[in-house]
Amino acid sequence: MFRRIINYLRQLFRTTAERAMDPEIELEQAITDARRRDQDLRNQAAKVIAHRTQIEAKIESSASDVGEARETAKQALQRAEKAKGEGNTADQEKWTNAAQSVALRLQAAESNLGSLKEQYEIALTQAESAKRAVQQNAMRLQELAAKRMELVGQLEQAKMQEAVNNAVETMGSALEHEAPSLGKVEDKIQRRVAEAKASSELREATPEGAEAELKEAVSLAQADARLEELKTELGL
């Protein structure tokens, strides 16, 4: 049970950390890791190819040793044969022994050359495999770089869209909480009209209101009488 809790906490921490990481930083880390692996692969491939080159040089040197030993052995045999024809037993023995000694060296050189050729075949195959691995990894690195550019573009678009969404939400929130609705404005106007009518009714119901109404009626009557006088003067 305790182990399950520990594993759960580890997974929870890992998930939380992954969510908290910036996608752009993760992309940079991915491309950096890929480039480092590519460089490591190139270094290893260079060592493999260098090994092939070294074997080539050793083969050339060993072939030269074989040729030299063969030529020396021939010379020793010819001199031994000449000494035999001349009846010179001492020289014949000397050159025969020399030929045998050189033959042993020739045998060792030829054996070494054969071994080097076998190694070279292996090194050649390894070098070709290393070059193909480098080429394939270089292609993958280019694909990863292109994918990174694509993802960065998508990330920028996502950021822009998020900014627009936040702006729209902020505007909506401001309009919802700060700007009065038409219904609220209408209610305010109707309330003021109703209050004005109520005040007018109250004023008319008081003596002061009645007196004001009488004064208004007198004023209107006087105004009408004055208009009649003016019509008479004008003959209308």
pLDDT along the chain (236 residues), means of 10: 55 50 73 85 90 92 92 91 90 90 91 92 92 88 80 76 77 56 69 73 61 65 72 75
In this structure, the answer to whether residues 101 and 214 fall within a common structural domain is no
Indicate which CATH number applies to the domain containing 65: 1.10.287
> What's the domain range around 166?
23-177
pLDDT, position 20: 46
pLDDT, position 232: 78
Would you say residue 17 lies in a domain?
Answer: no
In this structure, the answer to whether residues 126 and 43 fall within a common structural domain is yes
Would you say residue 15 lies in a domain?
Answer: no
Total domain count for the chain? 2
The domain boundary, picked from 177, 192, 214, lies at: 177
pLDDT, position 66: 92
> Is residue 152 classed exposed, middle or buried when 0-12, 13-18 and 19+ CB atoms within 10 A define those classes?
middle
Q: Which amino acid is at 30?
A: A
**H-only helix segments in the chain:** 2-20, 23-86, 89-177, 182-204, 207-234
d(CA 80, CA 74) in angstroms, rounded, equals 10
In this structure, the answer to whether residues 190 and 97 fall within a common structural domain is no
Would you say residue 18 lies in a domain?
Answer: no
In this structure, the answer to whether residues 227 and 147 fall within a common structural domain is no
Would you say residue 9 lies in a domain?
Answer: no
In this structure, the answer to whether residues 168 and 192 fall within a common structural domain is no
Would you say residue 16 lies in a domain?
Answer: no
pLDDT, position 207: 62
pLDDT, position 209: 57
pLDDT, position 54: 93
Query: Can you tell me which residue has the tokens 């050339």?
Result: 60
Q: What is the pTM of this model?
A: 0.52
pLDDT, position 17: 45
pLDDT, position 53: 92
In this structure, the answer to whether residues 204 and 101 fall within a common structural domain is no
pLDDT, position 203: 60
In this structure, the answer to whether residues 222 and 163 fall within a common structural domain is no
pLDDT, position 13: 47
Query: Can you tell me which residue has the tokens 């906490």?
Result: 9
In this structure, the answer to whether residues 55 and 84 fall within a common structural domain is yes
